[in-house]
Amino acid sequence: MFEDLPIAGINKMTTVDFPGHLSAVVFLQGCPWRCPYCHNPEMQKLTAGVIPFEELKAFLKKRKGLLDGIVYSGGDPLVYSKLSELIKWTKEQGFDVAIHTGGHLYENFEKCLKYVDWVGFDMKAPFAAYEKITKAKNSGEYAKKAMQMLLASGVNYEIRTTASPDDLTMDDIYQIAKDLKELGVKNYVLQEHRHLPDEEGDEITHFAQNSSFFVNKDLISFLENSFENFSIRRA
Ligand code: SF4
């Protein structure tokens, strides 16, 4: 059935990855993008998984009635061509399903929107400047198409941006908000960038740079006024 599912890892319980749900996160191998701040670079390669599908099946059987939801994350789960069927199957096992994605494969994304209950969608940069984060051609165009599909589908969602001070400027954040507002986005989260241990610079400098977005009253009030639901997520 899904014996080729490239499972890179499972987080057996979380309350923060699928709003209103006690859920488990299944990380799938593979992502075509190369964001400089990626926290799962080992999941970028399109290789086989390390956990067999049978193990996930047994896990779901055991957790039925104990967990409300399953989140497919990555990497980017859209890389798995049978993701929509997998979502459908997971729902038949008695779980609500969420996905975390950047929306790069929008044709696969459209199929998933028929079944999925919630989408956490990463907005990497202003659409016109996506490549500076993803290092992939046309990625802004693909993300925009996927986001339009999401908004048209009526599926619950959160659009979020990792405010990496090394990669995004204050103007970028303003432009992101304008791009999203134009599409009709209502739910937006600006999330703090978590410092990777091998990144250059000391913690204090990084903390100060990182905070620059969040202590800027003009920016925060612009974001609050741009969206029906806006929040800040600290690392
Ligand atoms: S889209 Fe996500 S998984 Fe892919 S490189 Fe960027 S941060 Fe990493």
Cα–Cα distances in angstroms (integers) from residue 189 to residues 7, 117, 133, 180, 192, in the given order: 28, 19, 18, 12, 10
Whether residue 45 has its Cβ less than 6 Å from ligand 1:
no
What are the pLDDT digits (tens) for 113-167? 999 999 999 999 999 999 999 999 999 999 999 999 999 999 999 999 999 988 9
Whether residue 35 has its Cβ less than 6 Å from ligand 1:
yes
Residue 64, pLDDT above cutoff 80: yes
Residue in 40, 72, 109 to alter for ligand 1 test, most ligand atoms within 8 A of Cβ = 40
Tokens 């103007």 appear where?
171
Closest CA to 79 of 109, 55, 58: 109
Residue in 27, 29, 35 to alter for ligand 1 test, most ligand atoms within 8 A of Cβ = 35
List, in sequence order, every residue forming a beta bridge with 23; answer none if it has no partner. Answer: 14, 69
* C-alpha 74 – ligand 1 centre gap (Å): 8
Q: What SS3 class is residue 77?
A: helix
Q: Percentage of the chain with pLDDT > 70?
A: 93
Residue 168, pLDDT above cutoff 70: yes
Cα–Cα distances in angstroms (integers) from residue 69 to residues 57, 79, 164, 191, in the given order: 14, 21, 29, 23
pLDDT (0 to 100) of residue 198? 56
Tokens of 17: 């990855």
pLDDT (0 to 100) of residue 194? 78
What are the pLDDT digits (tens) for 32-50? 999 999 989 999 999 999 9
Question: Is residue 33 within 8 Å of residue 146, measured between CB atoms?
Answer: no
Question: Is residue 68 within 8 Å of residue 19, measured between CB atoms?
Answer: no
**Does 184 sit behind a cis peptide bond, omega within 30 degrees of 0 on the bond before it?**
no
Local confidence band at 65 (pLDDT 50, 70, 90 cut-offs): very high
